[in-house]
Structure 1
Amino acid sequence: MASPPTFRIRDAVPSPSNTDALFIGAAFDSCIPHLATVGSASQWGSQPITSRPKFLESRIKSIADASEYLRTRSGDPVRVLIIEAELASGEYLPVGSMTLRGNYFSQYLLEQEHLDGVTKGQSGDWMFLETLVTSFEEATKPYRKGAGAALARWAKEWAEELGLGVMFYESQGFVKVAPFEATKEGEAPWPGMFLRMDLGKKE
């Protein structure tokens, strides 16, 4: 039985080649065939995510925003993380990514009127796990298992370090708030579930 991979998590880096942003885009695209095989093709459709207008541009901007936050430590927290698996050669292979934003909700959640009691009534500071994706490309197949859980743990620990009391996402350890349907022009709506975890503020 193969040993589980050893991971490291680092901040995505702005660069002229946009290497990290392109990896994130490729990771999203690699999920499309997988979703189809598990009966969830309607979630993201059949076209590459990177073909959507401004998708890569928004990833590049998120990485730049996170870099600026790390430099200044001012404004609401934002981080874009890359998780990498250590190879036998000692090199590291990117296998997933996560974007975290403090005091923020995605537009598709703000448009859900039945969630107004949460999205417009949330008091205090909170962390929103905006995206979490692992790559389904063939090269990452032996190394991605456990990457999503490792990212979720990292997110929880960082939110606790910041003294935030709540984290929102749809992952391990979260409780259901309410279902929703996200709609995009020209695409069928896809169902989602909004979830929450109470962290307890760190003294």
Structure 2
Amino acid sequence: MIIRQGGEEDVPAILALLDGAVEWLVANGREGQWGTEPWSARPKAVERVRELARTGTPWIAEIDGAPAGTITLRQQSQDYVPPADEPEVFIHLLVTDRRHAGRGVGAALLAHAVTETRRLGIGLLRVDCYAGSDGRLVDYYRRNGFEPVQPFTVGDWPGQLLAQRVQALS
């Protein structure tokens, strides 16, 4: 696996990963996270991905030259979570291709986020996630070094804000 910096040219690949995740979630009865309609079929979702690719730094994990996952990092949180009172890196759109489940793609992208946060000299890495489905996604982030900060809701969507302290290089 390699992790490379992406850009706006990777929007189609990011959308394909998101569409695949929606398909998997729906097939497993977990429509609450992202609904049932592919991201690529929703103009607002497509624009959100484009905006994140323009204003953040997308990273693409590749296995055998094909996208296996993506994460976008920005020094700004989502508008529906409280802003941090210090500089931060915020994780947007972590998604992996389920065909590579169990190969550590998500964990590698999260470790890369920690490395990038450290490289920038920033001590706070935050992420928000879907808190439904018995908190499975929250547990995933906890296993990867994040601690819950506060729950929130957007409409009827239950979310959880999580954070990880990143130590500066010495």
Fold match by TM threshold 0.5: yes
1:11·1:82 contact (CA, 8 Å) conserved in 2?
yes
TM-score normalised by structure 2 residue count: 0.81
Percent identical: 29
Shift of 1:13: 3.6
With over 3 angstroms needed to count, the CA separation of the structure-2 counterparts of 1:193 and 1:143, relative to structure 1, is closer
Aligned position for 2:2: 8
Q: Mark the runs of 5 or more structure 1 residues left unpaired by the alignment.
A: 1-6, 66-77, 87-91, 110-118, 184-188
- Alpha-carbon distance in structure 1 between the residues aligned to 2:157 and 2:51: 25
RMSD of equivalent CA atoms: 2.0
Shift of 1:124: 2.6
Residues matched between the structures, number: 156
Runs of 4+ aligned structure 1 residues displaced above 4 Å come to none
Residue 146 of structure 2 is aligned with which of 132, 154, 174?
174
Shift of 1:199: 1.1
2:39·2:46 contact (CA, 8 Å) conserved in 1?
no
- Alpha-carbon distance in structure 2 between the residues aligned to 1:51 and 1:108: 23
1:159 aligns with 2:126: no
Q: Mark the runs of 5 or more structure 2 residues left unpaired by the alignment.
A: 130-140
- Alpha-carbon distance in structure 2 between the residues aligned to 1:156 and 1:24: 21
- What is the DSSP-based 3-state SS (H/G/I as helix, E as strand, rest coil) of the residue aligned with 1:195? strand
Aligned position for 1:33: 23
| Larger-gyration structure (1/2) | 1
Residue 86 of structure 2 is aligned with which of 108, 114, 124?
124
Shift of 1:49: 1.7
